[in-house]
Structure 1
């Protein structure tokens, strides 16, 4: 469990908007406006979630990994964005005025057009390692990275994250997309699908899913695991009327042997299987069953305990997402706004605490891991209004700094400072 958790923490440090190697482009010609993307990564189990409008946010649909970070999104006004990972050295850039949260999440909720977004973006430094393409239904698009904003010239714009080696791109994906877009006057789903097919990836790094967004009409065409013959169509206006929800993207597609094989080899597969059992057999019964299984096999079943910890964290992420308009769990990523604890009741938090209580009580070897679980139990109690208990967990989690993960020490110290004011 210790080895697994260390890998999880390493992933956390580099996972903020770290879609690995995507190909993204916008195209406006012939009266049609589209944005399209191949989302390439090594972690399957993509989520799609729908966020109704609130008094201060526009409605939207988001795509992302199980950590509930937004990889791509589109709001009710046809404003779209999608990230491609990049390798900017932020320490060499004079970035002194960052937005205190996720600037693109703010753009999605508050802006209708690229023009409106530029006004907001120019107030702050963009401090993500990624480059993002932002496009609207009027046909405008921009690329945003820590070095600034590049507006579209012509009728298309490509965002891809191939590295430069000796002054040349190390892969052909952006070149192929540019060649096909500049070599044709077409602008329709079938043509854009051909570009996605020509630029998709297979192997250890795979095109997990692809989207073609009709920004004028609010229609999204989705393809799973580089299969461009099977489409799931989202009518955003109709879907948003159904209310908030989180879905597994793969559930909207027929069974695929290639996708199933890829998924089963992923470290999150057991956790995802447990969540499927929760749907089929109920959360209480499923959690009780797996805790009982852990007791039978303890202390050998490292894999199951790691999966149970992931289940607890996923329940918290789901809960936070629903009660915070679809946003990622800012606390998990140590973002400033993440320390502003919002109080609410949610059964998923109760289930998460049950798992954490069991795991922490049975973790006597890895003290750092146990203190991490105390920290998360503290967070769960604070959210549910149990301030005294939450404070006790936090105090316990950081009482011996030499036995604490750095991220737990940072977050725990900040929370205690706020609780002691």
Structure 2
């Protein structure tokens, strides 16, 4: 017998007892996006490597260390997408979605980064991303933040997350600030760790986002980007904060919030939690007004965010979530002497008569005791029993599995009405 083949490290299976929580989270997100008027777009998981080098930045950790890149048979360099924004921009340009149009888009699916696997950080991870194209004002920035705030309330996570905001200003303002920051960091070079010294030349703003506690003091004393904003960015940021104040969204201005991707400018934000250890960011985004032009399109303002599904699922473990809608309403128990074709006919008749019915039928035989064990394990509220007597009389016995109620035997017509009114409409 050959050795068992294991999953790739950091690329995990999501098992049946876990998927209802995922389904609840994803359905809540998708319904909320529809209520806000956002449309789904689906992109390939493999793109040309150049797309990510041009968008994310060739000297970022993602491009330098983390991308899954390979050559195909034609010699083209391809990469499993490490994030979704670049692919969404590429698709919007290629398919003419940005010609004098405003677009509000969302996407979902796996992303890939070769990182050290740990809780909340995987090599294949799931994201939902939202991108808006064609709008310049802080009102749409605020809408994205308000949308996510509403999501946390509907998921029961409002008390588990906090909002951090910052402005990165224009590219010109950042360039001037970068020069001042580098001077300061060079004066404190002995306080920097190895990663930060490497970033000093390539991406010094990322040093501000270091999680190394030994560098907290030197980072806290660094010049603040918010004190070096251009006038347009300052007005934009002040208006955004005024909107958040007016609608009652609590936030913290974090001058060290810079995000890890080169394409961000002006507004950046993160929703963070202290309940997942070091991996505390569950949703993050901001403005990327220059990216469309950078990737070959006409200048187009843009803003968006992405949320990590694994981290949100982990947070949901801490709150009470009803998952009854992902379990069967009823489980059909069939006596050994009843022909399978009769039982299948009954199950199909019930499904046709009661359209929303979630009915699991027992297959493969077995004793009543073993079948009732499976019925109970399924989470069903009812066991519908077809024994030899019921099969002869055209009836079904209803046994309640989750409540103290007396079982009843009903004709098929009666069971259809019972299931419609008592189980599906009022589970």
TM-score where L is the length of structure 2: 0.24
TM-score where L is the length of structure 1: 0.24
Larger radius of gyration: 2
